[in-house]
Copies of this chain bind each other. A is one copy, B any other.
Amino acid sequence: MKKKQRKKINLYSRDFLYTQDFSKTEIKAIVDLTFLLKKMHLSGKSARFFDSGLAISIFRDFSTRTRFSFASAVSFTGLTLSELNEEQTQISHGETVRETANMISFLTEVIGIRDDLYIGEGHKYMKEIADAVREGYENGVLARKPTIINLQSDIDHPTQTFSDLAHLVNFFGSWKKLRGKRIAMSWAYSPSYGKPLSVPQGIITLFTRFGMNVILAHPEGYGLMPEIIETAKANSKKSGGSFEITNDMDKAFKNADIVYPKSWAPFTIMKKRTELLRAGRRDGLRQLEKKCLDMNSRNKKWECTKEKINLTKGQNALYMHCLPADISGVNCIRGEVSKDVFEKYRIQTYKEAGYKPFVIASVILLTRFKRITSILKKLKI
């Protein structure tokens, strides 16, 4: 990276909540450092930039990949992981979020949060924590303001989509080669209910930044958040790519270089769900779940089969998934992807996932160390 570009990067002390908050140069810096850290790990080199200090994780939903990616990044950079288990703490005793955020942060460098279950909640909660620790720092309570890292919110899943981006840059060989590539971010059938919108939303907002032709495909009624759609449109206009929406999976797959078939719950239903949860209406929730599963079951054809892959460029598009996938005949009767297609790309999806620890480590280092230009220079990025 040239000196001029490095000067444009200002990541120190910033939070990592939403990709749209970052410039293209900053995104590239994060991904380039990701590659370098991965190489360092391969050759057994140390990335222990910290001598001590806590990294806290708050998981309000299940996690395997992200949990261990965070733990790995934390160990790799020299921090100590401490999980905030909300049941073991006094939070249940009526402590405010603002207070807890400060109480856990006296020696904390990073707070990673997964809060993806309710529309309108996760991102808000992360902002609340971020504001609280900023106030603490500004009032001399905290020596440093910890970085908040979004480990999946109701809106975005940036550590995942940055891993996806790194995977594509590596797969196609360069940043430049992303330009003009056609990617189908498609809904796919799942027998389960309530999967977050964060991945498809993250994908269409991030990949439209790089001149790609992004097609969002889903059955009618499975729309994403309207403001996210607007952002994707604006991004593609600016970057010189394209963005379109279709209700036809085949159309989306046709001639695609990359396909990302994945289930999610419709935005309208997720919104309704949050309202019912807030009102404590269990009956309504049961009915909503039934309604959503019924909707899903009318769309069982939205499965990524060999026939679908045969529609893609050279019958050989790159299949992507954030994992775990619902694989027909493996962990469900019928799901997002057929067994043969998944098996063909399985190792690729593992490699895709393998960038995540290094994305997180990259974000940690770039947001915690002030003299980033000198670090990048030293690391020859």
Contacts and interface: CB of A to CB of B under 8 A. Distances in A.
Contacts of A1: none
A80 B89 contact: no
A142 to B, nearest CB: 8
Interface residues of A, number: 67
B75 A54 contact: yes
B141 A95 contact: no
A205 B197 CA distance: 55
Given A42-B143, A48-B52, A102 B324 contact: no
A59 interface: yes
Contacts of A68: 54, 56, 82, 84, 103-104, 106
Interface in A58-90: 59, 62-65, 67-69, 71-72, 74-82, 84, 88-90
A136 interface: yes
B103 A91 contact: no
Contacts of A108: 72
A330 interface: yes
Contacts of A95: 64, 323-324, 331
Interface string A99-110: 110111011100
A41 B107 contact: yes
Nearest to A65: B103
Contact of A62 (B88, B103, B351, B357): B88
A94 B350 CA distance: 16
A186 B94 CA distance: 22
Interface in A139-168: 139-143
A29 interface: no
B332 A94 contact: yes
Contacts of A354: 106, 141-142
B71 A353 contact: no
A91 B64 contact: yes
B88 A59 contact: yes
A257 interface: no
A326 B93 CA distance: 9
A51 interface: yes
Contacts of A326: 94
Interface in A231-261: none
A64 B52 contact: no
Given A47-B52, A324-B95, A357 B88 contact: no
A295 B324 CA distance: 46
Contact of A94 (B81, B142, B331, B356): B331
B75 A106 contact: no
Contacts of A90: 62-65, 324
A96 interface: yes
The 7 closest A-B pairs by CB, nearest first: A94-B331, A75-B80, A72-B107, A64-B89, A95-B324, A141-B350, A68-B104
Given A99-B350, A140-B351, 8 more contacts: A52-B75, A53-B76, A54-B75, A62-B88, A62-B89, A72-B106, A94-B331, A136-B350
19 contacts: A41-B143, A47-B52, A48-B52, A52-B77, A59-B88, A62-B93, A63-B88, A64-B103, A68-B106, A72-B107, A75-B79, A80-B80, A94-B326, A94-B331, A95-B323, A95-B324, A95-B331, A103-B323, A103-B353
